[in-house]
Structure 1
Amino acid sequence: MVFCVDEKSQIQALDRSQPVLPMTPGVPQRVTHDYVRAGTTPLFAALEVATWKVIGSLHHRHRAEEFKKFLIKLNQEIPADLDVHLVLDNYVTHKTPAIKTWLLAHPRFHLHFTPTGSSWLNLVERWFAELSNKQIRRGVHRSVQALEKDIWTWIVAWNTAPKPTSGQRPRTRSSSVSPAI
């Protein structure tokens, strides 16, 4: 199985200083420019390339120790008879001695690193953009727990009907439409 893996660190739980006024016909949603910070949470995610399903893990910190816990979760959730190929960036937490030792003890895991400065090649980055644009950005989160609940809700909903995001799937032309000349 091939997974694109990365972490979205410091996702902020933000609450607006005034209530958000909802959209109504002819009137856009209105929000204040200022906000109150309620904390952050990092999200580790693995997007399965074949199905676009996501395995996620939320932690309170963003270190190699948490990445190792995420690898353990992947090891538990992926059938034991399959090799696991992880496409990920060159972040230092992916290459610590503790991670290397864990990988030696789990030879079915194979890491493939994207070139330095090219993490945008990793498909899970596109999924993070969807999460940010459709769930987090317009949300009001008065606590880290509320933010984490919304992230889990998003992951569960996503996995019920995973699909490539816009820009990832080629468009097909309807047979009833003639090409422009």
Structure 2
Amino acid sequence: MSRRSPFVVELSEADRTVLEQRSRAYTAPYAQVLRARIVLMAADGERNAVIAQRLDVDVSVVSRWRRRFCEAGLAGLDDRRRSGRPRSFPAPVVAEVKAMACEPPEVREVPLARWSSAELAAQAVAEGLVMAVSASTVRRWLHDDAIRPWLHRSWIFPRDPDFAVKAARVLDLYARVWDGVALGEDEYVISADEKSQLQALSRRHRELPPGSGRTRRVEFEYTRGGTLAYFGAYDVHRAHLFGMTAPKTGIVPFSALVEQVMTTEPYASARRVFWIVDNGSSHNGVRSIQRMRTAWPTAELVHLPIHASWLNQIEIVFSIIGRKVLRPADFADLDALATRLTAFEPRFNATATPFDWRFGRRELDDLLHRIGAHRTADLSPLAA
């Protein structure tokens, strides 16, 4: 007869409830289920040998989990931390490769435009940092710090001398503030711009719709059916889009868009309507402000800084139109293109909600600070 274990299991009501739930769990790891059953049977007075026979495990397994529960309770049934496989590469080597990834290849006289994981691995070997290292290992190192040197995006340094002031005014309007005063319920903010040179491309052969195991196929060759311009005005707080097409951009079609909005309620009877625009030829300069004020006394034209269309919310709408309406392009003629653009407007307005715009004055200050830190000594300040 086997001797009794010196570890006597006594369960509280709470512990028994937890263990019974674990022992019946179908989706839990089997190791957790087994440990719970061992402890429950031990609490019922069963000996280790009997428990091992019923659960078809070695008696040493039963002894281990009985002892660990008595020593640490439920926490004793968890897996202990393991040391794991020792590092193959010392931390300084990993840090040096990451630093290399953050530098342009030309710094090390490597004739590349950007690094890949394979190129970084080869360069680490060439410089004697390691005897050998795989591209997948380097990729894991970079993944830990979200370093992706094979990607790039274009941007431009602000060169408007009043960039901060102009940008802050627009961001305040998005927050429904003007000159430090909150906007009233009868004041509105419109973001407007135009997309030029939209092409009516007609594919030479009919496209193939998607099917089982097949993506949609669009013919590469096309014929050109001309171009038109699309003008959009977007109420940033009501998420309402006004749009129109014209043969080309210019003051006249933009003025027609303004008239379309300003003669529609609630803007027709509004106390003020702020129009946020970039510095395009249709609405740039002091004359455009005077022209707007003369035609519509309640309208206030607010210009973005130069090269700051990314602060104009209508550009988000244009991005949606580009992805959902214009691409892939296959239009019989300009009328077909204009018809689809016009038909999209009520569809968009039926479900649109204001954009979750989170870029405010604080983020602007942080951006300008980081841009200033990136400038080299020979670059002039923002006024350049």
Q: Which TM-score tier does this pair reach, normalised by the shorter chain? A: 0.7 to 0.9
Aligned to 1:23: 210
Q: Give the distance between the partners of 1:120 and 1:3, measured in 2 at CA.
A: 15
RMSD of the TM alignment (CA)?
1.9
Equivalent residue in structure 2 for 1:12, among 199, 216, 219? 199
Aligned to 2:220: 33
TM-score (normalizing by structure 1): 0.85
Equivalent residue in structure 1 for 2:280, among 91, 101, 104? 91
Aligned to 1:117: 307
Q: Give the distance between the partners of 1:112 and 1:99, measured in 2 at CA.
A: 8
Aligned to 2:242: 55
Alignment of 1:66-81 (within 5 A): 66-79=253-266, 80-81=268-269
Q: Which moved more, 1:90-99 or 1:42-51?
A: 90-99
Equivalent residue in structure 1 for 2:341, among 138, 148, 151? 151
- Runs of 4 or more off by more than 6 Å in structure 1? none
Deviation at 1:100, TM superposition (A): 2.9
Deviation at 1:164, TM superposition (A): 4.7
Aligned to 2:189: 2
Higher helix share: 2
Q: Give the distance between the partners of 1:12 and 1:155, measured in 2 at CA.
A: 19
Deviation at 1:12, TM superposition (A): 1.0
Q: Give the distance between the partners of 1:47 and 1:12, measured in 2 at CA.
A: 23
Deviation at 1:91, TM superposition (A): 1.0
Relative contact order, higher structure (CA 8 A, sep 6+): 1
Q: Give the distance between the partners of 2:342 and 2:248, measured in 1 at CA.
A: 17
Higher strand share: 1
Q: Give unpaired runs (5+ residues) of structure 1.
A: 171-181
* Counterpart amino acid of residue 81 in structure 1: S
Alignment of 1:129-140 (within 5 A): 129-140=319-330
Tell me if structure 2 keeps the 8 A contact 1:68–1:99.
Answer: no
Q: Percent identity?
A: 28
